[in-house]
Chain A
Amino acid sequence: MGEKIAVKVDDLTVAYNYKPVLWDIDLTVPEGVLMAIVGPNGAGKSTLIKAILGIIKPIAGSISIFGEPYAKQRKMVAYVPQKGSVDWDFPTTAFDVVLMGTYGSLGWIKRPGAKEKKIALESMEKVGMLSYRNRQISQLSGGQQQRVFLARALAQDASIYFMDEPFQGVDATTEIAIINILKELRKTGKTVIVVHHDLQTVPEYFDWVTFLNVKRIATGPVKEIFNDDNLTKTYGINYKVAVNK
């Protein structure tokens, strides 16, 4: 192989009230892939990335980022939560939200200065939201809110991006804009891991895929493992969609 390993998960188990949500997950993600995590509702897709990012405490398991424990490598990782996870009526502007992406590297107490503001503006430009920078966030459309979240992650200038259903509730234009940005990130050597719902677009958008349903079913290049066999194993029923066009 020779290539570096971006994310390594060992024996990860997560449970809510004794009911296992993720069971003994081993996962290795090589650097520079654009990977989808697919699986049915309740398969633990969001939980997996939340556990990797330390938002949810696992019962067992360890996570390493480029060979070091996650706690040491936080600055290499950026997270784009589900759009619905925050209150968009919060009194703030699109620019302020993007600026939050620089808070992590600033650390405690220090205020964002000219350098941070420049980074935030550049990130907004990348996602085509520069002209909306002074908009109150409740006045943005769903797609624009998603772009703001993406811009916030871009402002972190990380090596690995975790995204939780970035295409949910966005318009077609935004979906294309976002996937182009993700492909751009991969081109520059970044690793992007996306919780994804729409099986139809997997071969078009991603080059790597993980099938998940409480247990990990398969991980690998889309060309090799995105087939009816794995889909059936993951989704239970005999899964023959129009994905093999």
Chain B
Amino acid sequence: MSEEEQQIPPEDANAPINVKVVSATGDEVFFKIKRSTKLSKLQGAYANKVGKDVNSIRFLYDGARISDTDTPASLDMEDNDTIDVMVEQVGGCVPCSS
């Protein structure tokens, strides 16, 4: 028994987790990803799926920007966690007519 128990953690660490990517409008896309896979890969796949330039969207986990080198393991993500995806923001002024 004790031998089996010891084998579980390494298996767990490699097991893929489900990640939900939610846009500001509430659209959801699900991904299955290994805990050691860089999230930049997921970002690229998402951008492809929704047909957007990956440079025009920002991925946030717990309110903080995900950087290209982050992985689910490095961010301590759990199964069924949510990644928020926001669109780039710009601003100069509101047109005076509106």
Bind each other = no
A contact residues vs B (CB 8 Å cutoff): none
